[in-house]
C-alpha cells in the first residue's frame, strides 16, 4: 500500500506533458499562420498597383452583374465534362485492356494502342483541341462539285472539342488503368481460373473490378484536370462556354471581374473533388 | 486399387528456364484416395499441383483425369478446371466480393446455376465448414483460418472430382491451423479424392492414404504414410524427416 502511494502518478504526468506539448504546438501554428498570411496580404494591399487591380479584378458590382450569365454558361462546361468523362473512362479502359492482352491476334490492335497512348500523351491538350477543332471541319469540306467523301464528319465545335478532350484524356487514363490492372495480384487471376472461369470472365469479374478500385484516386485526379481543361474548347469557337462568356464580358468593359466569376465556378467543382480524393486516399491507407 | 485412377500423372516434367522443377513425376490418385506430397520448400510441390489444374503448362509427359488426357495442347483447360477444386496457400479470396459471392461466382458463371440455387448451395457449403452467419461479410474481416475455410468452400461447392490443396495451412498462425485441418479431415471422411501438398507431417500421417516425398523434382519415395514417414527407405527422405524432427515439426 505504502509503496504504491509513493509511486509518482505517471499516467497523470504524461497526460499533462502531452497537453503542454499540444498547447505549444497550437500556439506556434496560429502565430506563424497569422504572420505569413498577414504578411502576404499586407504586401499585396500596400502595393501601388493594388487599387487598380481591385477595381478591374475584384469589382463587387461587376461580379454581381456578370455572375448569373457566367454561371448559366458554366452549365455547358458541366455537361461537356460529364459526357467527356464517361467517354474517357470507356476509351481508357478499352486501350488498357488491349495493351495488356497477350493474344497473338491482338497484335495490330496492341500496336495501335501503344501508338495512340504515346502520341496523344505527347501532344499538349490545347494543341489537340486546335488540330481537331479546325482540322476535321477542313476534311469534311466539300470540293468544287459540292460533294465530299468525308462530309459525315462532325463540324460542330462543341462536338469536336469534346472529341479532342476525350482523345487527350483517354490516353492518360489508359495508363492509369494499366497500372491498376498490373496492381492486381496474379493469384487473383489464378483463383478465378481455378473456379472454372474463362480468361475473359476472370478479367470481367475479378481483375477489372479490383483494378478500377485500386486506381480510384488517380482517376479522380484526372477528372479534376479534365474539368478545368473543358475551358479549352472556347478557343475553337464554342459559344456559351463559361470562360468564353467571361472573356467577352471582360473585353467589352475592360474589367476582368467576370473571369473571376468563372474561376470561382471552376473551383466550386474542383475543390470538392480534391477533398473527396483526399478522403478516399486516407480511407484506403487506414 | 482397381479401376481407373481419378488423377494419373505420367512422366511429367516442367522447367522454368533451364531450372528443372519437375523431373519426371509418376503418381496415381484413386477414387476416394488422399495423397499427400511432402518435401522441402522449392521441391516442386506447388508446381505439381498447379500443373494438374492446368494453371501451368507442363513440358513433357501427360496428366489424366478419369482416364482422359487433360494435358493435350489442343484440349480446353477451362472445362478441366471446372472438374477440379484448388485451394491456395494464400487463400486468394476475391477481396471485392463478400464471402457468399466468393463461393457463388464459380457456381453461377462457370457452372451455370441460377442465382438463388447458387446462393443456397453456397450457404450449405459454408455452413458445413462452420461459416454460417458470415455470408455477407468481407473476407478481410475474417481470420486467416476462416478465410481459408471460405476458400475450401469455394473450391468444394461444385463437388469437384478431386480437390487440390496447396499448403493450405502454411500461411496461418499456429493456433488457426487446427480448424483448417479439421475441414480437410471432413472432406476425407466424405471420401473426397484429394492431392495435398503439405508441411504438416502429423496431418499427412493421419489423412493420407499414400505419401510421396518430393526431392529436387523427383518423387523419391511413395508409399503408405506409416512406411514413408516412420520407416523411410530413401536416404533423402530420412534426412528430410530428421531435419523436421530436430526443428520440432514432425
* CATH number of the domain bearing residue B75: 3.40.50.300
Q: What is the pLDDT of residue B1?
A: 47
- pLDDT of B133 > 70? The answer is yes
Q: Which of A185, A187, A194 faces B53 most closely, judged by CB atoms?
A: A194
Q: Which residues of A touch B53 (CB under 8 A)?
A: 194
Q: What is the pLDDT of residue B2?
A: 58
Mutate to test the interface with A, among B53, B78, B170 (most CBs of A within 10 A): B78
- pLDDT of B96 > 60? The answer is yes
- Tens digit of each residue's pLDDT (9 = 90 or more) over A50-87: 888 888 888 888 888 888 888 888 888 889 999 999 99
Q: Fold for A63-285, please state it.
A: MetI-like fold (1.10.3720)
Q: What is the pLDDT of residue B245?
A: 81
Q: What is the pLDDT of residue B148?
A: 95
Q: What is the pLDDT of residue A156?
A: 84
- pLDDT of A146 > 80? The answer is no
Q: What is the pLDDT of residue A145?
A: 65
Tell me whether residues A194 and B88 touch, CB distance under 8 A.
yes
- Chain B's closest residue to A211, CA to CA, is B96
- Chain A's closest residue to B151, CA to CA, is A191
Report residue A105's pLDDT band, with 50, 70 and 90 as the boundaries. confident
Which percentage of chain A shows pLDDT scores above 70? 94
Pair A284, A220: CB distance under 8 Å: no
- Is the C-alpha dihedral spanning B21, B27, B32, B36 positive or negative? negative
The residues pairing with B196 across neighbouring beta strands, listed in sequence order, are B36, B165
Is residue B2 a part of any domain in this protein?
no
Among the listed residues B10, B56, B5, the one whose alpha carbon sits nearest the alpha carbon of residue B166: B56
Report residue B136's pLDDT band, with 50, 70 and 90 as the boundaries. very high
Tell me whether residues B81 and A213 touch, CB distance under 8 A.
no
Lowest model confidence (mean pLDDT) among A149-158, A194-203, B55-64: A149-158
What does the alpha-carbon distance between residue B238 and residue B192 come to, in Å, rounded to a whole number? Answer: 30
Is residue B202 a part of any domain in this protein?
yes
Is residue B174 a part of any domain in this protein?
yes
Is residue B43 a part of any domain in this protein?
yes
- pLDDT of A210 > 70? The answer is yes
Tell me whether residues B109 and A201 touch, CB distance under 8 A.
yes
Instruction: Determine the 3-state secondary structure of A198 from DSSP.
Output: coil
The residues pairing with B7 across neighbouring beta strands, listed in sequence order, are B29, B65
Number of CB pairs < 8 Å for A and B?
A: 61
- Chain A's closest residue to B83, CA to CA, is A196
- Chain A's closest residue to B51, CA to CA, is A194
Lowest model confidence (mean pLDDT) among A280-284, B141-145, B211-215, B221-225: A280-284
Q: What are the sequence ranges of the domains in chain A?
A: 2-45, 63-285
A137 or A174: which leads in pLDDT: A174
What does the alpha-carbon distance between residue A256 and residue A254 come to, in Å, rounded to a whole number? Answer: 7
Using the Cβ of A206 and the Cβ atoms of chain B, whether some distance falls under 8 Å is answered with yes
Q: What is the pLDDT of residue B244?
A: 83
Q: What is the pLDDT of residue A240?
A: 78
Report the b/e string of B166-191 with b at 16+ CB within 10 A: bbbbeebeeebbebbbebbeebbeee
- Chain B's closest residue to A186, CA to CA, is B92
3-state secondary structure labels for all residues of A231-273? HHHHHHCCCCCHHHHHHHHHHHHCCCHHHHHHHHHHHHHHHHH
β-pairing, B19-29 vs B194-197, is: unpaired
A285 or B86: which leads in pLDDT: B86
Using the Cβ of A8 and the Cβ atoms of chain B, whether some distance falls under 8 Å is answered with no
Using the Cβ of A213 and the Cβ atoms of chain B, whether some distance falls under 8 Å is answered with yes
Range of B19's domain?
7-246
Is residue B1 a part of any domain in this protein?
no
Lowest model confidence (mean pLDDT) among A250-264, B35-49, B70-84: A250-264
What are the C-alpha distances in Å from B43 to residues A103, B91, B219? Answer: 32, 21, 10
Is residue B83 a part of any domain in this protein?
yes
Which string of DSSP letters, residue by residue, matches B71-101?
Answer: --TTS-HHHHHTTEEEE-TT----TTS-HHH
Using the Cβ of A212 and the Cβ atoms of chain B, whether some distance falls under 8 Å is answered with no
- Chain A's closest residue to B80, CA to CA, is A196
Tell me whether residues A195 and B96 touch, CB distance under 8 A.
no
Most confidently predicted of A278-282, B82-86, B177-181: B82-86
- pLDDT of B31 > 90? The answer is yes
- Tens digit of each residue's pLDDT (9 = 90 or more) over B103-116: 999 999 999 899 99
Tell me whether residues A193 and B155 touch, CB distance under 8 A.
no
Q: How many CB atoms lie within 10 A of CB B198?
A: 24
Using the Cβ of B166 and the Cβ atoms of chain A, whether some distance falls under 8 Å is answered with no
Q: What is the pLDDT of residue A286?
A: 41
Q: What is the pLDDT of residue A162?
A: 92
Min distance A96 CA to chain B CA atoms (Å): 21
Count structural domains, chain B: 1
Q: Which residues of A touch B92 (CB under 8 A)?
A: 185, 187-188, 190-191
Among the listed residues A109, A220, A188, A239, the one whose alpha carbon sits nearest the alpha carbon of residue B105: A188
What does the alpha-carbon distance between residue A95 and residue A252 come to, in Å, rounded to a whole number? Answer: 45
Using the Cβ of B138 and the Cβ atoms of chain A, whether some distance falls under 8 Å is answered with no
Identify the burial level of B102 via C-beta atoms within 10 angstroms of its C-beta, where 0-12 means exposed, 13-18 middle and 19 or more buried. Answer: buried
Q: What is the pLDDT of residue B248?
A: 67
Mutate to test the interface with B, among A187, A190, A194, A199 (most CBs of B within 10 A): A194
Is residue B214 a part of any domain in this protein?
yes
- ipTM value > 0.90: yes
Q: Which of A188, A196, A206 faces B111 most closely, judged by CB atoms?
A: A196
Tell me whether residues B55 and A201 touch, CB distance under 8 A.
no
Q: What is the pLDDT of residue A152?
A: 77
Q: Which of A193, A198, A206 faces B94 most closely, judged by CB atoms?
A: A206
Tell me whether residues B88 and A193 touch, CB distance under 8 A.
no
Using the Cβ of B110 and the Cβ atoms of chain A, whether some distance falls under 8 Å is answered with yes
Beta strands in B156-227 (DSSP E): 162-166, 194-197, 210-215, 218-223
- Tens digit of each residue's pLDDT (9 = 90 or more) over A236-285: 888 778 888 888 888 887 888 888 888 888 888 888 888 887 887 776 65
- pLDDT of B99 > 50? The answer is yes
Which percentage of chain A shows pLDDT scores above 90? 44
- pLDDT of A142 > 70? The answer is no
Tell me whether residues B90 and A187 touch, CB distance under 8 A.
yes
H/E stretch holding A220: helix A216-229
Amino acid at each position: 500500500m505504502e509503496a504504491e502511494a509513493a509511486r509518482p502518478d505517471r499516467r497523470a504526468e504524461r497526460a499533462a506533458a502531452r497537453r503542454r506539448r499540444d498547447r505549444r504546438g497550437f500556439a506556434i501554428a496560429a502565430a506563424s499562420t497569422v504572420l505569413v498570411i498577414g504578411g502576404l496580404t499586407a504586401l499585396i494591399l500596400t502595393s501601388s498597383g493594388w487599387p487598380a487591380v481591385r477595381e478591374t479584378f475584384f469589382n463587387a458590382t461587376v461580379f454581381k452583374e456578370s455572375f448569373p450569365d457566367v454561371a448559366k454558361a458554366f452549365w455547358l462546361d458541366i455537361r461537356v465534362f460529364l459526357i467527356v468523362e464517361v467517354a474517357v473512362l470507356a476509351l481508357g479502359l478499352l486501350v488498357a485492356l488491349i495493351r495488356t492482352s497477350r493474344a497473338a491476334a491482338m497484335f495490330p490492335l496492341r500496336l495501335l494502342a501503344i501508338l495512340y497512348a504515346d502520341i496523344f500523351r505527347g501532344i499538349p491538350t490545347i494543341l489537340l483541341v486546335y488540330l481537331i477543332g479546325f482540322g476535321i471541319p477542313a476534311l469534311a469540306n466539300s470540293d468544287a462539285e459540292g460533294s465530299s467523301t468525308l462530309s459525315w464528319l462532325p463540324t460542330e465545335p462543341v462536338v469536336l472539342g469534346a472529341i479532342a478532350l476525350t482523345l487527350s484524356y483517354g490516353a492518360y487514363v489508359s495508363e492509369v488503368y494499366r497500372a491498376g490492372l498490373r496492381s492486381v495480384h496474379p493469384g487473383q487471376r489464378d483463383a478465378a481460373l481455378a473456379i472454372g472461369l474463362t480468361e475473359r470472365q476472370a478479367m470481367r469479374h475479378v481483375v477489372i473490378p479490383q483494378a478500377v478500385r485500386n486506381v480510384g484516386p488517380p482517376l479522380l485526379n484526372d477528372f479534376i484536370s479534365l474539368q478545368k481543361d473543358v475551358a479549352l474548347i472556347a478557343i475553337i469557337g464554342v459559344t456559351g462556354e463559361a470562360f468564353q462568356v467571361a472573356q467577352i464580358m471582360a473585353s467589352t468593359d475592360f474589367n476582368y471581374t467576370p473571369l473571376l466569376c468563372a474561376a470561382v465556378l471552376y473551383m466550386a467543382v474542383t475543390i470538392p473533388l480534391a477533398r473527396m480524393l483526399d478522403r478516399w486516399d486516407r480511407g484506403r491507407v487506414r | 486399387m482397381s479401376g481407373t485412377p481419378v488423377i494419373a500423372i505420367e512422366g511429367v516434367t516442367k522447367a522454368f528456364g533451364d531450372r528443372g522443377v519437375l523431373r519426371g513425376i509418376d503418381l496415381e490418385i484413386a477414387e476416394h484416395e488422399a495423397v499427400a506430397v511432402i518435401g522441402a520448400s522449392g521441391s516442386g510441390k506447388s508446381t505439381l499441383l498447379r500443373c494438374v489444374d492446368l494453371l501451368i503448362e507442363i513440358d513433357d509427359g501427360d496428366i489424366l483425369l478419369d482416364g482422359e488426357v487433360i494435358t493435350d495442347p489442343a484440349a480446353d483447360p477451362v472445362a478441366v478446371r471446372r472438374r477440379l477444386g484448388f485451394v491456395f496457400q494464400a487463400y486468394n479470396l476475391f477481396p471485392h466480393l463478400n464471402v457468399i459471392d466468393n463461393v457463388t461466382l464459380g457456381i453461377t458463371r462457370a457452372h451455370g446455376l441460377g442465382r438463388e440455387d447458387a446462393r443456397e448451395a453456397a450457404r450449405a457449403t459454408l455452413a458445413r465448414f462452420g461459416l454460417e452467419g458470415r455470408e455477407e461479410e468481407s473476407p478481410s474481416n475474417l481470420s486467416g483460418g476462416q478465410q481459408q475455410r471460405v476458400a475450401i468452400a469455394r473450391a468444394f461447392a461444385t463437388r469437384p472430382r478431386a480437390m487440390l490443396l496447396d499448403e493450405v495451412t502454411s500461411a496461418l498462425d499456429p493456433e488457426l491451423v487446427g480448424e483448417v485441418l479439421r475441414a480437410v479431415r471432413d472432406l476425407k471422411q466424405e471420401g473426397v479424392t484429394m492431392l495435398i501438398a503439405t508441411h504438416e507431417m502429423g496431418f499427412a500421417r493421419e489423412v493420407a492414404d499414400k505419401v510421396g516425398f518430393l526431392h529436387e523434382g523427383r518423387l523419391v519415395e511413395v508409399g503408405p504414410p506409416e512406411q514413408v514417414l516412420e520407416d523411410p527407405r530413401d536416404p533423402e527422405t530420412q534426412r528430410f524427416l530428421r531435419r523436421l524432427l530436430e526443428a520440432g515439426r514432425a
